[in-house]
Structure 1
Amino acid sequence: MLALQEADEECRPHGRILDVAGIAADTGLEYQHDSAALRWGPSSDGFLGTIMFLHPRFDVLYRDVVDLPGHCHRGAVVVEAEADGTAFRVMSMHLSLFQPLRVVQMRILGQYLYRRPEMQTILLGDFNEWRPWGGLMFNSRLLGRGFRGPARRSFPSGRPVLPLDRILTDRAGAVREVETVRTPQLRLASDHLPIRGIVHLDAPK
């Protein structure tokens, strides 16, 4: 899967800036925002800058977006899918710069998860949380479950010192081989370095 943040224009109407058809063709992944309900508006490719692509081997079961409060409007994109009989959920997000707002945003996501079917859940994106141990926003009381994953320095891209971007899941030890991707082109493209990793899914029940 591929999750992008700040991939539409920052200001309303959040117009498109990328060639999502080209990305899909180059990666072999499927763009997940074909429904208007999964985009901010008619000129957007994603929801508040968050865009997701998924491998065609995954059977998509459900897709949604979640509005998150803040001075700068934020949101999360949710995809529930199945791989070889195992259901899983991916939530891609871009959270607030301010910890009190991040706590509120994570609580909203926790309430959302409470209303959805139980399955392994993966959180990924720009959490804007610099503490390697996670800070208050990752408290299991907010989310209703614990999320863990290695912290890798991703910001600023020229000389990264802060692990603002993360891949997390609610299964212990399931996020592996996490690393930042460093090339001269990526340093020019964004003030964050992308991160990549492998998430091991539950065995089919």
Structure 2
Amino acid sequence: DRTARVIREISPDVIALQEADNRFGDRAGLLDLARLELETGLVPVPVSGNGKGHGWRGNVLLFKRGTVRDVHQLKLPGLEPRGALVAEIDLDEKRSLRVIAAHLGLLRRSRSEQARVVLDIMSSADERPTLLLGDLNEWRLGNRSALNTLHTTFGPTPPAVPTFPSGLPVLALDRIMGNRHGLVSGVEAHDTPLSRVASDHLPLTAFVHL
């Protein structure tokens, strides 16, 4: 209920959620997707072979407008069961958008390897507009960051916006990044009384210019 209410506060066109499924057991989904669609107009990007789960390794990607043309479910390397969901969305007859929803690992070495896997799906810097968003679990900046390998495609790491812990955010664990200059702007934490108790992370929001 809290998650649904925060999503209504944000009123997004596209949103990525992490840990939307139980981590153990049958990995059943934790959301009421039918209710979310009714109240927000958002529909989930479909995933396959996930049983009772709503997403791929906990990643759920929802969008308001357009048609999903292709979906890839990436297994990311590391000790933990991490993954990324990649969706190609045709917004209309002329415009398309690739969205990568990812949840990277807690270990720095794993994050470095996982970032390289994400880059493998990007064949060149002039590809279609692409967003990378999610809990990337990296608070280090500059040369110490495990996300440095992403610079070749996504440019310099965007300004750090603290999102964790939600009650008193000091670490910038979440990111919204674009592969083109000016694609993403206005990145900020959605800090409201409800968002502080709905999750241990504050939601991160941004404007996308196509």
TM-score over 0.5 for the pair: yes
Distance 1:134 1:174, change over 3 A: farther
Following superposition, the deviation at residue 60 of structure 1 comes to 2.0
- The CA distance in 2 between the partners of 1:190 and 1:2, in whole Å, is 15
Distance 1:20 1:10, change over 3 A: same
Please give the secondary structure, in 2, of the residue aligned with 1:63.
strand
Following superposition, the deviation at residue 161 of structure 1 comes to 0.6
Task: Select 2:57's aligned residue among 43, 48, 58.
Answer: 48
Structure 1 residue runs of 5 or longer lacking an equivalent are none
In the alignment, does 2:187 pair up with 1:174?
no
In the alignment, does 2:89 pair up with 1:89?
no
> Paired residues, what number?
194
In the alignment, does 2:94 pair up with 1:77?
no
In the alignment, does 2:131 pair up with 1:122?
yes
Please name the residue that 2:27 is paired with: 14
Please give the secondary structure, in 2, of the residue aligned with 1:113.
coil
Measured on the aligned residues, the alpha-carbon RMSD in Å equals: 2.1
- The CA distance in 2 between the partners of 1:72 and 1:131, in whole Å, is 20
TM-score where L is the length of structure 1: 0.86
Please give the secondary structure, in 2, of the residue aligned with 1:176.
strand
Following superposition, the deviation at residue 90 of structure 1 comes to 0.3
Structure 2 residue runs of 5 or longer lacking an equivalent are 1-13
Task: Select 1:160's aligned residue among 162, 165, 169.
Answer: 169
Identity %: 38
Please name the residue that 1:61 is paired with: 69
Following superposition, the deviation at residue 98 of structure 1 comes to 1.2
8 A Cα contact 1:87 1:120, kept in partner: yes
Following superposition, the deviation at residue 185 of structure 1 comes to 2.5
Counterpart AA for 2:99: V
8 A Cα contact 1:81 1:87, kept in partner: yes
- The CA distance in 2 between the partners of 1:152 and 1:4, in whole Å, is 17
- The CA distance in 2 between the partners of 1:162 and 1:133, in whole Å, is 15
8 A Cα contact 2:26 2:52, kept in partner: yes
- The CA distance in 2 between the partners of 1:98 and 1:109, in whole Å, is 17
Task: Select 1:36's aligned residue among 29, 48, 51.
Answer: 48
Following superposition, the deviation at residue 122 of structure 1 comes to 0.6
Following superposition, the deviation at residue 134 of structure 1 comes to 7.9
- The CA distance in 1 between the partners of 2:200 and 2:72, in whole Å, is 28
